[in-house]
Chains A and B, each alone.
Chain A
């Protein structure tokens, strides 16, 4: 062979050797720390969280897994007081890699340029409640026209609120909407500064304390108005550390599987009550749906179509200022692989777009 052919052969040989060595080199360097963020610290100041992530945090499945596999990776938990909106800020400023929050702020973040992927579904079918002051004569949202309504803007249940208005032919400008942080909700309605409040399950506590009366809930309407949370990772982290993303998802699946076991529900309530919600409230909120369905981590058609609906609605209402394509948002292969690895196929059934579970 002439020298060019020899060079080509040498290069090919080199490439072959490199290719053989590549799998060994592919084992990525572990991240020094996995930073997870979610909303809510409890009133006592001790960190606690709701949903599947709350269980993951309390039971420390991820930390245990990492210790067992000998990974020198630390796990850092942040509890962000601004919840959804605050989580977007934390993700965009690079303070956390993984988050767990509602689809509404996730889509808002996506529209704002945030680069994230949804790895798994979190607690779904969360209800929202319209609460009025005890002495109010209003029986429905129409009666509250022109009145002052407290709503924490950007939180997941705003979707239900906007849908409610739309279904009655109303718009935001028919009311005086005050941006009231959900943490302040009880004080604000007690102070008489607003006539009604649109909030989540703390409506039960408000009613119990005689500070307000619920006149409408998402229970009365099709499921898609109820909000859901999801496990989210930054694109950068997922690209850089796919192995550890898988480990994260596996630990998350363990938490979801733990929740699917009815034996654990009492302990689950106890863990979640660290966020300040009473166990009674949560039991009432969770009454309709079995845990297995509610905390299913599957990214099925129901989840995708729900996100599409929310995104379309937000665009239409001007809540997002750019069109958002949610089809690129989901990364279900980690969940699928994790379920196979852990043998959890029988636990969850995918739900189709209309809400019917497969069998």
Chain B
């Protein structure tokens, strides 16, 4: 019977199940010694239920998603514009490129103190951080994508006497689209990371990062675990959605992009 059960469970579930089991056992073993840092799973579940009922979880999730969305929108627009400029114009690339690559190296966690000092302690600083984090991958991939449009394609457009606008719309953008999309994907991943980091390092207002931190200060570690789990679930959901979108949009290329 156990063998039958073993066959039914997909292989991918075993490692997490085993880990959770070890966690549960460890939590109960450690509980006696007063170190409440590994919390039993039932506590985590109870905390999750509590937070849902109180509406706290939804509020925090909403705020974080809002920051991710705003930062992503701002950063992606800026990145697309900048990438288009430097991808299309060699002059722009030579002027702005070195500075761009130099500034890109600063890990955005290093920019946290600066953002906090000049943008204040509220959501604006956090959204600013997310914007910066999203800007770079989008700009980089957009520029590279545009530059990689094969010369033969561009020649074709020129020989068909395409106007500037037509050249862009029919040759350059579609040609660069897979790479631009890759940039947007990375940008979204970075937006997520940056939003959580910003919430942890610039503490202001509700949010999933703030939820995790409140777990370590007053609410209890089970709340932190809930926060982490929600972040993971959201991230996973988002990446699935993006993968689905990518498959639909880039179907015509016949490759995974």
Contacts and interface: CB of A to CB of B under 8 A. Distances in A.
Whether A and B touch directly in their complex, counting CB atoms under 8 A apart, is answered as yes
Given A43-B218, A183-B217, A187-B217, A93 B119 contact: yes
A143 to B, nearest CB: 25
A45 to B, nearest CB: 8
A309 B119 CA distance: 32
Contact of A92 (B117, B203, B204): B117
B217 A184 contact: yes
Contact of A276 (B37, B116, B218): B218
A95 B117 CA distance: 11
Interface in A116-138: none
B121 A95 contact: yes
Contacts of B237: none
A82 B203 contact: yes
Interface string A76-120: 001011100010011011110000000000000000000000000
A81 B217 contact: no
Contacts, number: 41
A187 B214 CA distance: 11
A234 to B, nearest CB: 13
Interface residues of B, number: 15
Interface residues of A, number: 18
Contacts of B35: 191
Nearest to B215: A187
Interface string B97-123: 000000000000000000011111110
Contacts of A78: 122
B218 A82 contact: no
B216 interface: yes
Contacts of A43: 218
A147 B86 CA distance: 53
Instruction: Classify the interface of chain A: helix, strand, loop or mixed.
Output: mixed
A81 B117 contact: no
Interface in A39-83: 43, 78, 80-82
B120 A89 contact: yes
Contacts of B121: 80-82, 86, 89-90, 93, 95
Interface in B22-40: 35, 37
Contacts of A89: 116-117, 120-121
A90 B217 CA distance: 23
B37 A81 contact: no
B120 A93 contact: yes
Given A184-B217, A191-B37, A276-B218, A93 B204 contact: no
Interface centre among A93, A94, A95, A183 (most CB of B within 10 A): A93
A81 B204 contact: yes
Contacts of B116: 86, 89
A43 B56 CA distance: 13
Contacts of A187: 216-217
Interface in B199-236: 203-204, 216-218
Contact of A184 (B117, B120, B204, B216): B216
Nearest to B221: A187
A80 B204 contact: yes
A49 to B, nearest CB: 16
A238 B217 CA distance: 37
B179 to A, nearest CB: 37
7 tightest CB-CB pairs across the interface, nearest first? A93-B120, A95-B120, A81-B203, A183-B217, A43-B218, A86-B121, A89-B116
Interface of A: 43, 78, 80-82, 86, 89-90, 92-95, 183-184, 186-187, 191, 276
Given A43-B218, A89-B116, 10 more contacts: A86-B203, A86-B204, A89-B120, A92-B118, A93-B118, A95-B121, A95-B122, A183-B217, A184-B216, A186-B217
Interface of B: 35, 37, 116-122, 125, 203-204, 216-218
